[in-house]
Structure 1
Amino acid sequence: MRRLLGSILCQVQPHRKLSSVAGPMQNLIDNIQEQLQDKRYLIVIDDLWEEMAWDILRGAFPEGNSCSRIVSTTENMNVARRCCGYIPNHIFKMKPLGIQDSGTLFFSRIFGSEQQCPDELKEVSYGIIRKCGGHPLALINLAGLLASQLNYSELWYHVHDRLCSILNRNHTVEEIQKQILNLCYSSLPDCLKTCLLYFNMYPEGYIMWKDHLVKQWIAEGFVNAAEGKDREKIAEGYFDELVNRGMIQSMKINCNDEASSFTVHHIILDLITHNSKQDGFIGAIDCSQTITGLSTKAHRLSIQSSSAKYAKQPARISMLQLRSLGFFGLLKCMPSIVEFKNLRVLILDCWGNHDGHMSLNLSRICILFQLKYLKISSDIMVELPAKMQGLHYLEILEIDARISAVPLDIVRLPSLLHLGLQDATKLPHGIGRIKSLNSLWYFDLRCNSEANIRSLGKLTNLCHLHLTCSAALSSDHLKRKLIPLVSSLRKFGNLKSLTLTPDGLRAAIFFDISSDISFPSIFLQRLELLPPICLFSTLPTGIGELHKLRIFKIVVKELQGNDIRNIARLPSLVVFSLYVRKALTGTVIFTTMSFPALKYFKFTCGVMCLAFQPGAMPNLQRLKLCFNAHRGENHSLVLNGIEHLLNLQEVAGRIGVLPGSDESNMRVLKLSFEDTIKKHPRRPRFNLQLVDFIEEEYPPFDKLHWTQQQEGSSGQHEIIEKDCAEDMNKQGNCRLSRAFDLPPDSRSSYHLKSDEDSKHHMPVSMLRDESAEPSALDLSHSVQDDMTRPAWDTVMSFAPTDIFCQDLSCYSDKEMFVTEDIFTFNGTGTYCSLTMSDDDTSSTTTEAKTISPDDRFKPKIKSWIRGAHLGHGSFGWVYEGISDEGYFFAVKELSSLDQGSDVQQCILALEQEIELLSQFEHKNIVQYYGTDKEESKLYIFVELITQGSLLSLYQKHRLRESQVSAYTRQILNGLVYLHEQNVVHGDIKCANILLHADGSAKLADFGLANELSKFLPVRSCKGRVYWMAPEVINANRKYGPSADIWSLGCTVLEMLTRQIPFPNVEWTRALYMIGRGEQPPIPNYLSKGAQDFICQCVRAAPETRPSASQLLAHPFVDRRYTGEARNP
């Protein structure tokens, strides 16, 4: 059940990995509810097996008025009744397929359609179809058997006669399916039988990846390759044959129409389990059941757990002959691995966080000197041995978990072929020594040194390389990393796959790579260079020489005349994703026989116009377009000649529009685009999404010219599209494209002319570093950047960093700009004025904005509009707000159904308190801006912080102690400031520590704990209990700043353990324990410095706790401080 809930959460929150959703089942349910709250959803649950499972699942799906639907299938009528609330009309009884539908399924699997079936086989085919009784699984497997030998017509009659002899009218549905599956299994070649039986190593419903199984089969010795043949190619052929025969079900289909993940139908798995047990091929143990009938002769063992509640470690297993072990379950049930000294294949998929385990200790794994394959997936830290050189035969090492440290001598493993580690993993120096290495992922540019990047060039046998960048780097730092990388790439003569994905990288730091970069490997089949790291000026000319290239994804600054023509003749290109940042000035024409093999084409550009000549892209099946909608444009011209794409099956459009756009214009836009698609004779599937969350980037300064417009914008436009799941290799992260245009009817015009105007270009480092002072900035000369920033960046450079980074998602025409013409920076320290110019004459604006001592705006919000919904907290809803002057801020809405005088008094008290708190400013606190009220609702205006909280950070990444220390220091800085103002925060916890885009931590919701507790119901405040100090719980005792110190200790403990204080304790029980002065449990695995820091903070007596300023000198936080803490 936990795995099912985790799978659901991964689908509704795609950026999560399955290994990151571990923990108590209630946490998974809460997270799913949070993701689906107030959303319309359609969820299909296939093959529910018991009523209790539905009771658990139902609690994960929030109810509401969004017309959501849940469809479930089951073979159990009692489960069906439970699912539909015992309403008979809500149950649909599925009947077996009729002859016509059975024939359609059968013939489509073998020939494509019944019309292509030879006449001499039609009669015997229908005889076989009738024997299947309309059961899809039987039809699919028999079709797979017959399709494997199309030229052997005698097989059809043999199968028909065999079915007639083993089936009769008295057989039940289950017996028919079993007999047919046995027939299909017995017809498999011996090599495929062995590979199929190996699926018994995995639990029912487990999602398996093709490349993992292929490597496991090779390590097991199932693949015997003749001299000169590739074992992986042979193993992949085995896998594909099992898929074609219907023995394996594909789960995830990529844009190349190839399946990458698979599972096995439970009926086929029952057959596999039976035959595996009968042959003694694999022994299987369920930790939650009594072990019976375990074969002591089996060389392979799978340890699984069907119930976490009853799971326990199996008794001592004496199987010295064991060669392969697969473990899938809770860490507490895992036996001692080192006892199986002859292991060659070891698969560990363990969950430890649920039981309080924080690490998986594999320090003695070097004893298994015969090990060839090691794969680990876990939600906890993996501790490897200090030295691994004893594993001389290790060929494959894949670890999908955080690693405490990578052994230094891993570079000396003589047989290592495949090395796969999570991103943000630092590899030892000298990675180039692993001469045998065939594939490497993920190599993190942030974590690894320039010398190690240069060392990659020594891996001359490398065929597959996946690079990542797990966190933002400065432009100079990134450039220093990419220069040796480009040098190394020139040395990869055997490279088949090169992927660069900016995992975790959010800042748009572009590096303009020369378009004439060479790609030395003529074997290159996959090339993915995704933003924001890689930006080419134009399409590299060398791409046209990569005749084996099948998948190509790239972003370029602009398209030039011959760019498309240079790659249009690539004979093997199947997937092509092109993102052009600069608007097209003409039509891109795809000529006859261009892109002959292309099946998937994605094109992204702010303004586009494509034309397809007859015979262009003859095999294209899926077309995806992302562009902006501009007033006055004829969108029917976007796709000229679409009717010439003869095999087109699906068209998807992502069109950026302004929020608040006229609905009639949107209908015209959709109808215009639909009419264009309808020109196609095959009427392909059509999916159009109007994107209303938008961003803005304008052209470079020296070319920018906004003029008064009557019919749309004539400037350059850009769509900012965050990589969709199909453009990323790792598990789905499908985000909508974003686009923006200046409102067409805006009367403002914006001119930045020549070099004189470009003096006001402010460096990116100034925008990202709050310590930089504008008064010290020399504006006397033009500051050039590789990628000149958009004009909006210039305007926003006068705003604080947090405003600069915000999403421009909620502007309407009236709110976009309230001033006119030129913006010029005249202020130096105490204020900023915006100068406007008409016809080269200047005058000062009528309003000046106050800037705080740390150069941050202090907007006074008089009128505002509500923007996008940002989240929900114990106090109520949080929205994005935009003032009439264009400032972004967050709006916290507190509401109460009670209209009484007490509530009104609480609202008044909160208003007065916030008016006082809004005067406080510090880089480590979230600024209050003011309040507004409406009857029983109070709106609190605060600084908008977009990078989430420490809670969301540690849920995604395990924080290193150095990072916790850095964040703690910033929290203490904020507390020192507040305590000096005689303000007690009152609610310190990770959820209330927000992260700025520059990495700094900010205290939110300070000073309001008392007033909020009066205003909100008790159930809304119970989440504070776990961090409360004893004196806060004891109402008869007064409390002061020392209460924040207790909460700080609990927060540090929370960051280090990724759990709340007093885990697994009900809040009422925790209330009692804290009131008695009990400290939260502090694990022994924490460093002594961390333990001492927490212990000092959570002393029972408030007067014995150190102050915030004293704690700044504690060794745990008094380290060398870099000024920012980055994500791991």
Structure 2
Amino acid sequence: MKYLLLIDDIWSAKTWGDIRNCLPVENKKRSRIIVTSRFQAVGAACSPVGATNLLHTVNFLNAAESKNLVKQSVHESKSSKESEKVQDKVLEEILKICGGLPLAIVSMAGHVACNPSKPSDHWHNVCRSLFPESVTALSLDGVTRILDFCYNDLPGDLKTCALYLSMFPKGSKISMKRLTRRLTAEGFVSEKQGLTEEEVAETYFNQLMRRKLIRPVEHNSNGKVKTFLVHDMVLEYIVSKSSEENFITVVGGHWMMPPPSNKVRRLSMQSSGSKHENMTKNINLSQVRSVTVFGSLKQLPFHSFNNGIIQVLDLEGWKGLKEKHLKNHICKMLMLKYLSLRRTEIAKIPKKIVKLEYLETLDIRETHVEELPKSVEKLKRISSILGGNKNPRKGLRLPQEKIKEPKKSTLAQKNMEGMKALRVLSGIEIDRESTAVNGLHQMIGLKKLAIYKLRIKKGDKIFTQLHSAITYLFSCGLQTLAINDEGSYFINSLDSMSAPPRYLIALELSGMLEKPPTWISKLHTLSKLTLSLTVLRTDTFKLLQDLPSLFSLTFSLSAAKQKQDKIKDILEKNKSDSGGEIIVPAGFPSLKLLRFFAPLVPKLGFGDNAMPELEMIQLQFEAFEGLFGIDTLENLREVHLRVNGLVSEITRFLVKDLKNYTTDKLKVIVDVNA
């Protein structure tokens, strides 16, 4: 077997020795191992005796590279022209103390850009206090001094958010929504000046990004940050600071932290095997208010916790969770506000969950739970219920009435009154037997409704009930609606609503959509729109071209094999109705992202003045008929093609031809999945 291994950031020669013992002794097939470390001694231990040419030291940035990086960092972080005035006076001071180390440069540059009102004399004094003597190459201690200064200068709310990041393991992508819900549950984020908790948290983490303490990794299709990373050295500093302030206690994982001397408040258990099973032994866990598990622990010290004070329990991905843990321990955590069982093996939520009267978030996505118990309806503070699975499409059934009386829908409506605090209901399934649909009328505070599976027929009573409920929720302020329709006429019936939704920000209609609702053209607040590829026609683009806030537009269809021929017939008719080529007309003043996900993407062309702000096009397909006129898109930066399966010669030729558009300004990226 031939292999190439990259082992990043080894801290000790002993660790390398343990890894080396697991690798083949002989290397007859010329395999390679690359090891990185911040310590010279570890690098020497990794090199064979006498092979000094295999040890490479990473050079610091030279003067020109450092100057370009600090200018770029200040430019990315600034929010006003005032910061631009400051940068020319302080750049040289920053470069003097950072010694060519990128982390130090971006951290200081971000900090300066976020404090534009401070005069250059202030920064001169800061640099002198940090490093009284000139610096040629920055040591680890020097980096710590800079991080310490940047942390201590943060406002109190930002300090709390920064410290909270120590909860997550090194190198993990942190979900913004997961983090926001947790911070809200612990009382660190609350509504302020008309902003929701999520919007307040977003401003906090935007500040940390501007200060270069965290780095965005993934963005949602609406342009907002979905996940981010914390630089290893920044996280090491935060973990140390968090331990010092007894804010979060990290046990196991990468960091070798001393055992806590005080009672633990928030516990992050990070492990990769059985050797960490007893890592909480001799630690007082009676005051723990937040528990988070990462890795492959076999068991948790449930008996050591005080169930009466735990507010956050995040078990995402923990495969050791059993139904007995829910019944005997979790349902006794009476103050619990945030409960995540995502990606666990749990299959049933017990009726005893009704005891968690303070519960705000219940996350059971990607589990085996198919239906919620009726007792959930009595949770008066529940604001987010997250269930189902997007791939494959599996939905979560709402609590069902098990009675035969004619007035069962009225009873369902009455029983669901306890869920008036609900803001997010995501991943549900509705079929002809569902009895809880009328209860949707009671969820007057609902902001997001995502139906993963819809299996009803036009003549069904529930069809009318669901149509009425969604119309009513629109009038109450529903901002996000997503419906995956597996064959009913329901998504086509939405066009019959008498008035357009006034507050809609995101809309997703998947399935055999015949035409988009005409009221879409009046949605001035709509920023994210996903439609079935079955409506990909020139007249659809004309319907959408004047939407002022539309940021992303997606046409998507994942048709079953037996429907492939029908879908192709629909697409051929659409193309024929559009004169043989689907043309994107002038307009779309704010659109930055355009996506097509389908077995077949027909011939597309861009007219003059179409999508002037468009930055990215993403296409995922098995067959492709061409993309023309992209040279007219002045702000286009990337075209990403993902080809699924074996493609025809024509598709291969068109993809190759499109790659010729690659320039310094525009990247055309092709991924082929055979």
TM-score with structure 2 setting the length: 0.79
Q: Which residue of 2 is the match for residue 105 of structure 1? A: 69
Q: Which residue of 2 is the match for residue 554 of structure 1? A: 531
1:486-525 pair list within 5 angstroms: 486-493=467-474, 494-500=477-483, 513-514=491-492, 516-518=495-497, 520-525=500-505
**CA, structure 1 residues 452+475, in 2 after alignment: closer, same or farther (shift >3 Å)?**
closer
Q: Are 2:571 and 1:582 equivalent residues in the alignment?
A: yes
Partner of 1:363, secondary structure, is helix
Q: Which residue of 2 is the match for residue 260 of structure 1? A: 226
Q: Which residue of 2 is the match for residue 342 of structure 1? A: 309
Shift of the alpha carbon at 1:601?
0.9
Q: 1:75 aligns with which of 12, 34, 38?
A: 38
**CA, structure 1 residues 260+81, in 2 after alignment: closer, same or farther (shift >3 Å)?**
farther
Residue by residue over 1:479-537, the C-alpha shift from the partner in whole angstroms, topping out at 9 and shown as x without a partner, is 998665444322222222223459xxxxx86868427254853222222233xxx1211
Q: Which residue of 1 is the match for residue 240 of structure 2? A: 274
Q: Which residue of 2 is the match for residue 622 of structure 1? A: 616
Counterpart CA distance in 2 for 1:625 and 1:328 is 35
Amino acid aligned to 1:369: L
Counterpart CA distance in 2 for 1:288 and 1:339 is 27
Shift of the alpha carbon at 1:132?
0.9
Residue by residue over 1:652-697, the C-alpha shift from the partner in whole angstroms, topping out at 9 and shown as x without a partner, is 3457997674xxx77864564345x36x8x64001246x7xxxxxx
Q: Which residue of 1 is the match for residue 669 of structure 2? A: 687
**CA, structure 1 residues 236+352, in 2 after alignment: closer, same or farther (shift >3 Å)?**
same
Counterpart CA distance in 1 for 2:337 and 2:489 is 40
CA contact (8 A) 2:326 2:350 kept: yes
Counterpart CA distance in 2 for 1:319 and 1:608 is 62
**CA, structure 1 residues 612+392, in 2 after alignment: closer, same or farther (shift >3 Å)?**
same
Counterpart CA distance in 1 for 2:519 and 2:648 is 45
Counterpart CA distance in 2 for 1:133 and 1:76 is 18
Q: 2:130 aligns with which of 136, 158, 166?
A: 166
**CA, structure 1 residues 311+623, in 2 after alignment: closer, same or farther (shift >3 Å)?**
same
Q: Which residue of 2 is the match for residue 368 of structure 1? A: 333
Counterpart CA distance in 2 for 1:545 and 1:57 is 63
Amino acid aligned to 1:394: L
Residue by residue over 1:136-164, the C-alpha shift from the partner in whole angstroms, topping out at 9 and shown as x without a partner, is 211221122122233x151x542332122
Shift of the alpha carbon at 1:316?
6.3
1:762-911 pair list within 5 angstroms: none
Give the unaligned 5+ runs of structure 2.
401-411, 558-569
Residue by residue over 1:745-772, the C-alpha shift from the partner in whole angstroms, topping out at 9 and shown as x without a partner, is xxxxxxxxxxxxxxxxxxxxxxxxxxxx
Counterpart CA distance in 1 for 2:589 and 2:31 is 43
Counterpart CA distance in 2 for 1:415 and 1:136 is 46
CA contact (8 A) 2:93 2:123 kept: no
Q: Are 2:508 and 1:528 equivalent residues in the alignment?
A: yes
Shift of the alpha carbon at 1:599?
0.8
Q: Which residue of 2 is the match for residue 218 of structure 1? A: 184
Of residues 511-520 and 564-573 in structure 1, the stretch that sits farther from structure 2 once superposed is 511-520
Larger radius of gyration: 1
CA contact (8 A) 1:375 1:397 kept: yes
**CA, structure 1 residues 121+426, in 2 after alignment: closer, same or farther (shift >3 Å)?**
closer
**CA, structure 1 residues 451+90, in 2 after alignment: closer, same or farther (shift >3 Å)?**
farther
1:279-290 pair list within 5 angstroms: 279-286=245-252
Amino acid aligned to 2:399: P
CA contact (8 A) 2:99 2:138 kept: no
Give the unaligned 5+ runs of structure 1.
1-36, 503-507, 692-735, 737-867, 869-1128
Amino acid aligned to 1:639: F
CA contact (8 A) 2:551 2:592 kept: yes
Shift of the alpha carbon at 1:190?
0.7
Q: Which residue of 2 is the match for residue 427 of structure 1? A: 398
Q: 1:190 aligns with which of 133, 156, 175?
A: 156
Amino acid aligned to 2:429: D
Q: Which residue of 2 is the match for residue 23 of structure 1? A: none
- Please give the root-mean-square deviation of Cα atoms over the aligned residues, in Å: 4.2
Q: Which residue of 2 is the match for residue 938 of structure 1? A: none
CA contact (8 A) 1:301 1:322 kept: yes
**CA, structure 1 residues 379+416, in 2 after alignment: closer, same or farther (shift >3 Å)?**
closer
CA contact (8 A) 1:383 1:403 kept: yes
Residue by residue over 1:371-428, the C-alpha shift from the partner in whole angstroms, topping out at 9 and shown as x without a partner, is 2222234543266443233322221222344349744311111111111234454432
1:411-422 pair list within 5 angstroms: 411-422=377-388
Q: Are 2:575 and 1:596 equivalent residues in the alignment?
A: no
Q: 2:435 aligns with which of 451, 457, 464?
A: 451
Q: Which residue of 2 is the match for residue 923 of structure 1? A: none
Shift of the alpha carbon at 1:556?
4.2
CA contact (8 A) 1:312 1:332 kept: no
Shift of the alpha carbon at 1:474?
8.0
Shift of the alpha carbon at 1:291?
9.3
Counterpart CA distance in 2 for 1:517 and 1:84 is 72
Shift of the alpha carbon at 1:271?
1.9
Counterpart CA distance in 1 for 2:610 and 2:178 is 37
**CA, structure 1 residues 85+404, in 2 after alignment: closer, same or farther (shift >3 Å)?**
farther
Q: Which residue of 2 is the match for residue 47 of structure 1? A: 9
Q: Are 2:607 and 1:612 equivalent residues in the alignment?
A: yes
Residue by residue over 1:613-671, the C-alpha shift from the partner in whole angstroms, topping out at 9 and shown as x without a partner, is 0x3212111123467879xx9x5xx412x23311110123457997674xxx7786456
Shift of the alpha carbon at 1:553?
1.3
Q: Which residue of 1 is the match for residue 565 of structure 2? A: none
**CA, structure 1 residues 303+477, in 2 after alignment: closer, same or farther (shift >3 Å)?**
farther
Amino acid aligned to 1:311: E
Q: Which residue of 1 is the match for residue 360 of structure 2? A: 395
Counterpart CA distance in 2 for 1:52 and 1:449 is 61
Amino acid aligned to 1:620: L
CA contact (8 A) 2:480 2:504 kept: yes
1:290-329 pair list within 5 angstroms: 293-305=259-271, 307-312=273-278, 314-315=280-281, 318=284, 320-328=286-294
Q: Which residue of 2 is the match for residue 969 of structure 1? A: none
Counterpart CA distance in 2 for 1:341 and 1:227 is 33
Q: Are 2:642 and 1:648 equivalent residues in the alignment?
A: no
Amino acid aligned to 1:301: L
Bigger relative contact order (CA 8 A; separation at least 6): 2
CA contact (8 A) 2:500 2:523 kept: no
Partner of 2:315, secondary structure, is strand
**CA, structure 1 residues 444+100, in 2 after alignment: closer, same or farther (shift >3 Å)?**
farther
Counterpart CA distance in 2 for 1:538 and 1:75 is 59
**CA, structure 1 residues 591+88, in 2 after alignment: closer, same or farther (shift >3 Å)?**
farther
Counterpart CA distance in 2 for 1:237 and 1:344 is 24
Q: Are 2:423 and 1:441 equivalent residues in the alignment?
A: no
Counterpart CA distance in 2 for 1:485 and 1:58 is 60
Identity between Structure 1 and Structure 2 (%): 27
**CA, structure 1 residues 292+306, in 2 after alignment: closer, same or farther (shift >3 Å)?**
farther
TM-score with structure 1 setting the length: 0.49
Q: Are 2:97 and 1:126 equivalent residues in the alignment?
A: no
**CA, structure 1 residues 482+360, in 2 after alignment: closer, same or farther (shift >3 Å)?**
farther
Partner of 1:217, secondary structure, is helix
Amino acid aligned to 2:449: L
**CA, structure 1 residues 379+648, in 2 after alignment: closer, same or farther (shift >3 Å)?**
same
Counterpart CA distance in 1 for 2:163 and 2:644 is 50
Residue by residue over 1:923-975, the C-alpha shift from the partner in whole angstroms, topping out at 9 and shown as x without a partner, is xxxxxxxxxxxxxxxxxxxxxxxxxxxxxxxxxxxxxxxxxxxxxxxxxxxxx
Residue by residue over 1:776-805, the C-alpha shift from the partner in whole angstroms, topping out at 9 and shown as x without a partner, is xxxxxxxxxxxxxxxxxxxxxxxxxxxxxx
**CA, structure 1 residues 468+279, in 2 after alignment: closer, same or farther (shift >3 Å)?**
same
